[in-house]
Structures are given as C-alpha cells and as structure tokens.
Structure 1
Amino acid sequence: MKLPDFEAWAVFASVVEHRSFSGAADALGVSKATVSKAISRLEQRLGTTLFHRTSRRLTLTDSGRGLAERAQGILAQGQEAEEAALDAASAPAGLVRVAAPLTFGSKRVAPLMAEFMAAHPGIRIDLHLSDAFIDIVGEGIDVAVRIAELPDSSLRARRIAPVTGYIVGSTAYFEKHGRPRHPADLAHHACFAYTNSAHPDAWRFRKAGGEEAVVRIEGPLRTNNGDAMLAALRAGLGIAVLPDFIVRDDLAAGTLEAVLEDWSMGSSALHLVTPPGTLRPARVEALMEFLAVRLKENCSEYLSPA
C-alpha cells in the first residue's frame, strides 16, 4: 500500500486557506508550479477534480469542499506535531483567518485584534467582516465570531455569553402609531426585516408562561446589516429587532425605546466557532484563549449575564 501523499494534502489545505495557488505558494515558500503539480497529483490519485479554475477565480468543487475539512485536519495535525516539538518557550507564529459580524466585528473585535497582534508579533491576522453566513471550512476560516442560536453541526463552538435583543422604535413613531401590547399587534406596524436571519418576515415570540406567537411582518426597509436600520428607526419610520450592542446608546439616550419586553424572541449568544477536529495550531489556540477572555471582559456592557 502506498503511503498517502501528505505533501499534496498539505498543499491542498493551503490553497483552500489562501483561496489561490499563488497565495498558497507564497505562504509555503514554493513556486506556483510546485503547488499546481501537487494539486494535479492529488486529483489524479483521488480520481476527482478539487477546484474549478478560471482565469479570474478559483472555487472548490463539491468533491473539493467535502475533502477540505480532512485536508485542513491533516495540515493542523502536522503543524501541531511540529510546534509541540519546538522549544516550549518559542512564540506561536503564522496566519490566523478570523470572521466576525460586520457591526460587532468593527466595534468590538477589530480593536482586540490590534491588542493581540501587539502581544504576538509573530502572528498575522486576516479579518473578514460580514453579516452573511460564511462556510468556515470552505473559506478556510480558523476562528469565527458568531452571534446566534447555533444549529447542531460538526463545528466546534465555545459559548461566551448570552446576547439580549430588543424590539425598538422611536418615541415619535409610537406616539403616532401606538405601542404594541402583544406581538400580534406588530402585523399592523411598519417592521424592518433583517435578511440574514432564517425567517426575516416571520418573528417568533415566547412568553415566560409558555405562550407563543408568530407574526408575519411587513415594512419599508429590508437589510442585511443592523446598523443600517438605525437612521430609519430614529426618523420614526418603523420598528426593528436589534441586539443590545447596536441599540444600547440609543436606548440610554432615549432616541429609541423598547417595547414588548416581557416577550422573548429566542436565545442568542456570542460564540467562538472553529472547524471540526480536536487539534488546533498554537497560534489559533492563543487567539481563541485571548478572545474568550477579552470579549467577556471588554464587552460585558453589551452582553447579558452569563
């Protein structure tokens, strides 16, 4: 039996991580031709195409997407073995790719990245900010910051703290249109839809006593970013559901007010999510531990009690 082509698997994982042959070549310190030959060698051995290649774009095939997680596991195990063999005093180094929601990422995660890099000069950060759902395995993400009720999956998730959401509008809006007393009242209000949620046009509520309600909402604004709703909310154009870290200042200033506070829209929490597998390179582990501590410390004013 022939031994697995570990080099080709590692090259494949690097191409997935850097999303290009040239990026992988630079990271590995080899030529682009060497990377291309390794991928071709692996494809021939596996009998399948791993990438769709065009002059402008490189994307994983279905087969490549299914194998990316295994390749990254092979690379991570090799990296961990090498790092474990190095002097324990040596500092972790290399690239860590991080994904976070746009608003929370720019306000709370980006400043922490600066602090982390200052303390770990050997580690480089590739920070991706977006409210869109990201396939962290397919995109080669090492750590994702997610604020959601996470579905069951093979991904590893570390819960940091619950996040409170509020149903908010301006005082002027409520004085003109009335304050909803029951979720069913929202069907007669202008409600803004957050399009990155699973059901943007159906708001689900639950009361402490067990009563539940589902409301179909309509309104003048649909957007994939919570911050984008603030101007329209302040102008009295409607109602929205937003997390505390977006509306906290407006609630404190009185420009917005919360309604239906005795109803819940489900549990949501801040998580750190990583690809499957038990092994992580030291640089990723270092960032995970840093974020777990600093997010809880620095963001306590935005988070519910754990």
Structure 2
Amino acid sequence: MAALVARLGSFAAAARALDLDPSAVSRSVAATEAQLGFRLFQRTTRRMAVTGAGSVYLERITPLLDGLSQAAEDARGEGGAPSGLLRLTASVAFSEICLLPLLPSFRERFPGITLELIPEDANTDLVANGIDLAIRLADAPRGDLISTRLMQTRYLVCASPGWMAQSGVPDHPGSLAQMACLRSALPGYRDRWIFRKGRDEPFGVPVDGWFLTRSALSLRSAAISGLGPALLPDWLVAGDLRDGNLTQLFPDWQCTATGFSTGAWALYPSRSFLPRKVRATLDFLRAELCNR
C-alpha cells in the first residue's frame, strides 16, 4: 500500500483508488513503518513527502510488487482469455465516432473483459484515477507515461455546401483571415491555423469568429449547419464528406493548428509489467484503427 501512496502522492488518493477510508490507508502504512523501523513518509498538515530511506525502499520493492502482480495475473490467465475490469478514457468525440462502433467486435473477442469507457475531454491523471488506458489526440506525447500510436490523423478545413453557396469558395487559405471561422476553444487552436503545400514552407493564417467551443462534436454540427468553416479531424468528418454534408475547402493543402504529425496515441502508466487485459486491448485497437 505504501508504494501506491507514493505513486499517487497522498493517502487520500490511494484511499480513493482502493475504495477505502483514508484512515485505513494511514494505519496500514504506519504498521509497515513500525515493522521496518523507519519512516517511509514525512507528514505535515499541508503535505506529504517520501523520506530518503523510504525512497530507497520503495525503489527496490516496486519492481518486485509489479512482478508479483504480473505473476498472479499470468497464473490466473494461463491458457485462458484476458479478463477483469479495464478502465479506458478518450475524448467524447473519439469515443462516440471511433470506439463505440468497435464494441461488438471487442465484446466478441474478449468476453471476459468488463470495459468501463470514460468519455471526457480533460486530460485526466491516469494513476490518480485508476485508469488503465487513455487515448490522446496530439503530436507525440511527452511525460512519464508509456505511449504507442494507434493511428495517424489529419486536420481538414471543412464547410457546408450551404455556406459555400452563400459566401463563396475561398481559393487560398489566406482568405480565411477575412472570414468568420468556427474555432476550437482548446489552447493552440483558437487563433491560428497552419498550412503547407507540398514541400513549401508552412505559414500561419490568423483566424477569428464569433463561435468557439471545446466540443469537437459541437464544432462539426455548427459547420454542418452552415455557420462557417471549421478545422476538424479527418476521423470525425469522413462520413460527412462522403455524404455531402461537408466539403473540404483546401484539398491540395495540409493544415493543422499544432503540428503535421498528429495521431491518436494510447497512453498507460509507466511500469515494468503490462496487464494481459491492457495488452490485448492495445493490440485490438491498433489493428482496428490503423487502417482508418
């Protein structure tokens, strides 16, 4: 339990992860400290910190605990299929468009896995919230989490046929600077879109407009309603482009708001052993999504 407290940063977080009363966690750690004969944590009313001796101890035992956990899981699953509760989080739009259609195949493939899908646009702390796997849409992720790319993504400037009939078809991305664009309120997306043609040098176009939202689904609906052009990911608008609800304005140009190497990345806590259920889910998602 001490290793979990150190990983999550507080007794309260560990208690939430284990569904226990914080006092029970505190008593367990105190009993461990009494048995060891030294303090693992320095505690004050405002903060908690791992002691020097605690840091040495936890660094040595964490790989052993992970190994024991993996050995138990391998023994339980020997000759059988992956099983247990798997908590997966992704953005609301990606969950709706890309993940929910895969559920029938996932259920058929892994009947022993109970999947808890958590659609949310905030980047939740995986460890503190007991989440096994997250899907993030971005350039290559940075940080302490392990990441693997599930699929490449592209961004497209799209508008409805009705908007084009009323406002005309812009012949160059620079024209967007004089138009009321539909903008994502996410940091890095609201003020400038970047374009590149072939091997030419990329250039930014300042964008403005009266409508902003953090919801990709709302942004797509606003574009379909004819309210203006929007920068949207290809996986979100593929069906609308096919059905004629939206039109790509600059098919000869690459466009983005952050970088040209965006993708859908699977992230999971950095640890020595990967649970069988997570490994199986990763392989499934990679196979299903890589050809989108």
* TM-score, normalised via structure 2 length: 0.78
CA distance in 1, matches of 2:49, 2:104: 37
Superposed CA offset, 1:81-117 (max 9, x none): 3223456214433322211121221232134345434
Measured after TM superposition, the shift of residue 255 of structure 1 is 2.4
Change (3 A) 1:123 1:75: farther
CA distance in 1, matches of 2:149, 2:250: 27
In the other structure, the counterpart of 1:58 is none
In the other structure, the counterpart of 1:136 is 126
Pair 1:83-2:73 in alignment: yes
User: Where do residues 184-263 of structure 1 align in structure 2 (5 Å cutoff)?
Assistant: 184-263=174-253
CA distance in 1, matches of 2:159, 2:81: 49
Measured after TM superposition, the shift of residue 271 of structure 1 is 2.2
Which residue, 248, 264, 270 being the options, matches 1:270? 264
CA distance in 2, matches of 1:100, 1:224: 14
CA distance in 2, matches of 1:177, 1:128: 39
Identity, % of aligned pairs? 28
* Alignment-mate amino acid for residue 219 of structure 2: M
Q: What runs of 5+ residues in structure 2 fail to find an aligned partner?
A: 34-38
Alignment check: 8 A CA contact 2:5 2:14 kept = no
Pair 1:169-2:159 in alignment: yes
* Alignment-mate amino acid for residue 175 of structure 2: D
CA distance in 1, matches of 2:14, 2:234: 38
CA distance in 1, matches of 2:200, 2:92: 34
Alignment check: 8 A CA contact 1:162 1:270 kept = yes
Change (3 A) 1:121 1:228: same
Alignment check: 8 A CA contact 1:183 1:213 kept = no
DSSP 3-state at the match of 1:191 = strand
Measured after TM superposition, the shift of residue 242 of structure 1 is 0.8
Which residue, 282, 287, 292 being the options, matches 1:288? 282
Alignment check: 8 A CA contact 1:95 1:126 kept = yes
Superposed CA offset, 1:112-149 (max 9, x none): 34543454344322211122223334433221122321
Measured after TM superposition, the shift of residue 267 of structure 1 is 2.3
* Alignment-mate amino acid for residue 45 of structure 1: L
Change (3 A) 1:247 1:62: farther
Alignment check: 8 A CA contact 1:97 1:127 kept = yes
Change (3 A) 1:186 1:93: same
In the other structure, the counterpart of 1:179 is 169
Alignment check: 8 A CA contact 2:141 2:147 kept = no
CA distance in 2, matches of 1:37, 1:284: 32
In the other structure, the counterpart of 1:9 is 3
Measured after TM superposition, the shift of residue 11 of structure 1 is 6.8
User: Where do residues 6-155 of structure 1 align in structure 2 (5 Å cutoff)?
Assistant: 7-10=1-4, 21=15, 24-25=18-19, 34-38=24-28, 45-48=40-43, 76-86=66-76, 88-113=78-103, 115-155=105-145
CA distance in 2, matches of 1:241, 1:160: 22
Single out whichever of 275-284 and 106-115 deviates more from structure 2.
106-115
Q: How many residues align?
A: 275
DSSP 3-state at the match of 1:267 = coil
